Amino acid sequence: MQKLKVAIYGQTTEGYKLAARLVDKASVTLIDETLQMATEVDQRFIKSHPDLDELMSSETLMDLKPIESALADANVIFFTPKLRRPSEESLIESTSKLRDLSKYVSKGTTVVNALPTGPGGNSENIVLLEKQTGLTVGESLEYAYTPLHPRSAEPAVVASISRGKDGQPLEALGFKLNSQSVLAAELGYVSDVLIGAV
């Protein structure tokens, strides 16, 4: 069986840890959305660069390629961009980066939002993806929500919108669906954050 092709859109600590988690299960490409370049990541690469700080401080020449092909060829795209603006403006920045990513999404791809969002945030993402790609989530495009814990590759919750597939690509990558719907996942995540803040 051929390995899934996974693109991680966002050279962040969480994105890099996610890449390290998935290299044994998939062909992984890490995308620096700022430089608009991609690099393939394998077990040897991860061993020589155990974390993102090590990668950024090394002077290793990486085999870079344009993001267009990495995203167009991906079966699964994890959305983990670096957000640099204050919290009020980070939603605008996130939407802009999702719009950029959506230019290259192919039919049959699973787009996974790994950024935490409040209730309704994923619905807005889905509308944007459908508008930009001309594809329909649940039919010609799949969508999942797996908000990662800070500085980790562990999702707080895993939810998917799929018709008849039951989240197969995510499960093949070792993620077990644990929420009935994306909205339930959003509400559960927000509830956990609020309980943790008390």
Q: Higher pLDDT residue, 193 or 37?
A: 37
Q: Given this model, what pLDDT does residue 103 score?
A: 95
Encode pLDDT of 22-43 as tens digits.
999 999 999 999 889 999 999 9
Encode pLDDT of 41-53 as tens digits.
999 888 888 788 7
* Number of domains, the chain: 1
Q: In whole angstroms, what is the distance from residue 20 CA to residue 42 CA?
A: 8
Domain that holds residue 18: 4-197
Q: Given this model, what pLDDT does residue 28 score?
A: 96
Fill in the DSSP letter of residue 59. -
CATH classification of the domain holding 82? 3.40.50.720
Chain mean pLDDT for the chain:
89
- Which of 15-19, 76-80, 163-167 has the lowest average pLDDT? 163-167
- The beta-strand segments (E) located in 126-171 are 142-145, 159-161
Q: What percent of the chain clears pLDDT 70, i.e. is strictly above it? A: 93
Fill in the DSSP letter of residue 85. S
Q: Given this model, what pLDDT does residue 196 score?
A: 76
* pLDDT above 60 for 165: no
* pLDDT above 60 for 164: no
pTM of the model: 0.91
Q: Given this model, what pLDDT does residue 2 score?
A: 83
CB 125 within 8 A of CB 161: no
